[in-house]
């Protein structure tokens, strides 16, 4: 591992050691909205974190590869999947997306809130994610468009508009590019209006 990877890994291991979900982690709202009507297949969850999205997908018949830089988060997800009888549908892989990317082809690649204070070549990551789609597959990217009061990053400049990666329009189609408002609930139960930037890309061939 590079020095940056080691530093990032320690940071996120510490985060997940300190922030333990109260009960089973919830799926992200935008994932549920977009994916609920899709036919299950193979899914890749980038930056899986606490694993709420991976577990939600697995329960609905998806076979999920859950990738994250934090060994703590992945070990916890392995345990939850096993306890819920979903171990055969959830595979965890440790990756620093700035350096490595999961192998294979997927019907869905989901990337929610890949915000980090460490270097991340976002354009490169999203291009690799799009290239990992099977024909007809979709890439769903959701990022913060504003900071919640409890966010670790309060810099407004850290939440620019989400731009689609440079892709051949003959192979990939942008189906949605939206800025959406929702009411978020913080770790202490407080609520706030926040903005999500949503990008949905479909591979045609």
pLDDT 10s digits, 138-170 = 999 999 888 787 776 667 666 766 777 888 999
Per-residue b or e along 154-170, where b marks 16 or more CB atoms closer than 10 Å to that residue's CB: eeeeebeebebbebeee
Under 8 Å between Cβ of 102 and 87: no
Residue 27 lies in a domain: no
- Of 174 and 185, the one with more pLDDT: 174
Residue 85 lies in a domain: yes
Residue 25 lies in a domain: no
Distance from C-alpha of 104 to C-alpha of 95, rounded to nearest angstrom: 14
DSSP state of 161: P
- HSE of 58, CA atoms in CB hemisphere, 13 A: 24
Residue 81 lies in a domain: yes
Residue 29 lies in a domain: no
State mean pLDDT over 168-194: 89
Residue 120 lies in a domain: yes
pLDDT digits (tens, 9 = 90+) for 55-104: 999 999 999 999 999 999 999 999 999 999 999 999 999 999 989 999 99
Across the chain, mean pLDDT equals 90
Residue 109 lies in a domain: yes
Place of tokens 């939440």: 159
Which residue range forms the structural domain that includes residue 65? 3-14+34-147+156-203
CA-angle at 113, arms to 101 and 140, nearest 5°? 70
pLDDT digits (tens, 9 = 90+) for 95-136: 999 899 999 999 999 999 887 767 788 889 999 999 999 999
Residue 23 lies in a domain: no
Q: How many domains does the chain have?
A: 1
Q: What is the CATH number of the domain that holds 180?
A: 3.40.50.150
Distance from C-alpha of 78 to C-alpha of 154, rounded to nearest angstrom: 32
Distance from C-alpha of 143 to C-alpha of 185, rounded to nearest angstrom: 16
Under 8 Å between Cβ of 188 and 148: no
In sequence order, what are the beta bridge partners of 193?
183
Place of tokens 């291009």: 127
138 φ, ψ to 5°?
-125, 140
């Amino acid at each position: 591992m590079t020095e940056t990877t080691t530093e990032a890994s320690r940071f996120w291991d510490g985060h997940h050691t300190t922030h333990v979900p109260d009960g089973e982690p919830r799926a992200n709202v935008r994932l549920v909205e977009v994916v609920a009507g899709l036919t299950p297949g193979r899914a890749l969850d980038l930056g899986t974190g606490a694993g709420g999205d991976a577990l939600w997908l697995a329960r609905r018949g998806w076979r999920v590869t859950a990738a994250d830089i934090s060994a703590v988060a992945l070990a916890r997800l392995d345990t939850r999947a096993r306890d819920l009888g979903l171990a055969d549908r959830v595979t965890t892989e440790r990756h620093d997306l700035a350096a490595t990317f999961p192998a294979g082809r997927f019907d869905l690649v989901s990337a929610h809130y890949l915000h980090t204070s460490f270097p991340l070549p976002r354009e490169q990551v999203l291009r690799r994610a799009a290239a990992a789609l099977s024909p007809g597959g979709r890439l769903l990217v959701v990022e913060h468009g504003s900071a919640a009061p409890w966010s670790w990053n309060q810099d407004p400049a850290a939440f620019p508009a989400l731009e689609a990666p440079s892709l051949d329009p003959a192979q990939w189609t942008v189906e949605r590019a939206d800025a959406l408002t929702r009411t978020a609930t913080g770790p202490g139960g407080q609520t706030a209006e926040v903005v999500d930037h949503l990008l949905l890309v479909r591979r045609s061939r």
